[in-house]
Amino acid sequence: MSFLVRVNDNFQNYLNTEYESTQKTRLFYVFPIIKLISTLWMIIVVNYAMIVEEGYVGHIILIIILLLSAALLKINMKHFFKFLIVIGIIFPLIVAFPLLFTKEGLTLWSFNIFSIKITVTQLGFNITRNFLFRMLANSTITAFFIFSTPFTHIIHIFHQLRFPSVLITIITLTYRYFFLFFENLIKILRADDCRRFEKYKFKKRFTHLGTIFSMLLLRSFSHGTKIHQAMLARSYNGDLLDTNYKPKLLNTIFYLLCMILLNTLIWIFFV
Amino acid sequence: MTDDELQINVKDLHFSFFPHQEILKAINLEVKKGESIVILGENGSGKSTFFLNLLNLLPNFSGEIQINGKEVNRKNEREIRKKIGIMFQNPNDQLFLPTVQQELEFGPSNLGINGNELKSRITQVIDTLKIQNQIDKKTFHLSYGEKKKIAFASIFAMDPEIYLLDEPYANLDPQTKKEFSEILISLHQNNKTILIISHDLNNIPKFIKRAVVIHQGEILFDGLINNLYNKMEILQKANLDLPILSMLYLKLMDDFHLEKILNFPRDVDDFLELFNKNGIKNQE
């Protein structure tokens, strides 16, 4: 419960400060669509070009360059590192862990668990290492984009790219919905705690959790619907861009030159 | 009443979320421009659903709703929503942007207002509603009462012709209630149409003369509030209580044999005036 409260507080805190912290970055006035295109281009480079055996060296250098750039461009490094730790390290580690043991080849290390022999091979190690660094590089590129671009600008890009309005609404609501989901979960669990005076047995606990989660989905859905109605009532047309925002051409040109330089260097040295 | 004078015209409105469970049954209502109405009814009587239907926010109602002579349908719902400002009962269902400033700018910018015009409008809203202290706060850090104020400010900034306010006085402290009443009076004086939902007759601003009582999706009463106070059977059926001052006057009428009245007191001044007039007579 306290863990959930902490996650919710952190997320709400992020939502609350998201616009202001992106506003402080030097990339705020770069055309959002240019930022998105350059981000997608770098992701393509990392995933389809830097796939040589020693590609991870390139990934590490790219991550370092991006981290230094992020610090220089005044991107909120606290948010940046939190994102990298969860999305760039913990999740890929969970996914990549089995890869260590499932490849054949030169044995690096082996041990027995009861009668099962577990082996880490050279190939398994290399694949896992490359996968982890590639994921970390992808996450760094994504973080570089999302922590320099407010959510409203991202939605505006989708609008400009003529994404279906239903899809844009779903994305907007999902983003705003996330905290509703947590808020409702906390409220339900708190209400449950107040009226439950003894620990449930194993089977009953599962039935009870099932009921709680189905109620959670229903409540969050109903809450989300009401918020959407309130948005429509205030003439919401799918776009959330603040009307005072005007991107600057000079900032965009400078950003583009830096990106071209970085991509050329990557191409020359690592592809 | 000619069709030109009508701002809201509802004819034979039916609505149900599920088949055979009608929430609204044959609602007919005519509201003139600049008129103020209170919609009364117990919880679950269909008052809020009625409001949502006026903006076509719920799918598939049957019957006809006209706003300013234009039929409400999917084609022109956006045009119609520009003229109506709705404040939900629970501000948590309404506010969704991180900062109060963004929340206030959301509606007007959707109406195409921007630049200096937007700035001056927001400044005007802040000054009128006295929300200078809240403007720099995060929406999620506001108290419930403050959220209600900001929810109202967010529609006030759109300057709609029609205000639909769902339980605007619920959970407000006395000072905020008073301030809110003053704002509503000024809106009324500016010829805005105001529809308020309530289930508490104590909290109805005095400038509102007309009441509509909805019970189980049907209109039980549509007329002057003073006439409603004399219809105890309707109040009982709709699970409504007389305002506390009117109840007190009724009690005094019985105990002190005061003169029977048709206009029940709606505030302390009314009460004192009636009591002094009839009480003194009684002493004489």
The one-character DSSP state at B65 is E
Between residues A136 and A270, the one the model is more confident about? A136
Q: Which residues contact B269 (CB under 8 A, 6 or more apart)?
A: none
Between residues A202 and B106, the one the model is more confident about? B106
- Which residues share a beta bridge with B40? B198, B213
**Is the predicted pLDDT of residue B11 greater than 60, yes or no?**
yes
Nearest residue to A215 via CA among A177, A184, A182: A184
Say whether B93 and A230 touch across the interface (CB within 8 A). yes
Reported as a pLDDT band with limits 50, 70 and 90, residue A196 is low
* pLDDT tens-digit series, residues B130-179: 888 888 888 878 888 889 999 999 999 999 999 999 999 888 888 888 88
Q: How far apart are CA B184 and CA B205, in angstroms?
A: 8
Reported as a pLDDT band with limits 50, 70 and 90, residue B85 is very high
Query: Testing the interface with B: which of A234, A240, A245 to mutate, by most B Cβ within 10 A?
Result: A234
Say whether B109 and A242 touch across the interface (CB within 8 A). yes
Residue ranges covered by each domain of chain B = 1-83+160-225, 98-157, 242-284
Q: How far apart are CA B148 and CA B132, in angstroms?
A: 15
Which secondary-structure segment (H or E) carries B92? none
* Joined tokens for residue B218: 């049907």
Q: How far apart are CA A244 and CA B71, in angstroms?
A: 35
Q: Is there a contact between A56 and A130 (Cβ–Cβ < 8 Å)? A: yes
Residues of B in contact with A18 (CB under 8 A): 98
Furthest-apart CA pair in chain B: how many Å? Answer: 68
Q: Is A176 on the interface with B (CB under 8 A)?
A: yes
Mean pLDDT of B46-53: 92
Residue A34's SS3 state is helix
Between residues A198 and B66, the one the model is more confident about? B66
Mean pLDDT of B15-27: 87
Residue B218's SS3 state is strand
Q: How far apart are CA B247 and CA B252, in angstroms?
A: 9
Poorest-confidence range of A51-60, A154-163, B19-28, B108-117? A51-60
Q: Is there a contact between A48 and A181 (Cβ–Cβ < 8 Å)? A: no
pTM of the model: 0.74
Q: Which CATH class is domain B1-83+160-225?
A: alpha beta
Question: What pLDDT shows up at residue A184?
Answer: 75
Q: Is there a contact between A157 and A171 (Cβ–Cβ < 8 Å)? A: no
ipTM, 2 dp: 0.74
Write the DSSP assignment of A179-232 as a string of letters. HHHHHHHHHHHHHHHHH--SPPPHHHHHHHHHHHHHHHHHHHHHHHHHHHHHHH
Residue whose token pair is 């009668």 = A115
Q: Is A236 on the interface with B (CB under 8 A)?
A: yes
Residues of A in contact with B59 (CB under 8 A): none
Q: Which segments within B84-205 are labelled E, that is strand?
A: 84-87, 162-166, 193-198
- Phi-psi domain of A35 (left: phi exceeds 0; alpha: psi -120 through 50; beta: other): alpha
Residue whose token pair is 């260590």 = A100
Residues of A in contact with B81 (CB under 8 A): 232-235
Q: Is there a contact between B207 and B230 (Cβ–Cβ < 8 Å)? A: no
**B53 CA to centre of own chain:** 15
Q: Which residue of B has its CA nearest to A223?
A: B93
**Is the predicted pLDDT of residue B260 greater than 60, yes or no?**
yes
Q: Which residues contact A123 (CB under 8 A, 6 or more apart)?
A: A103, A104, A105, A106
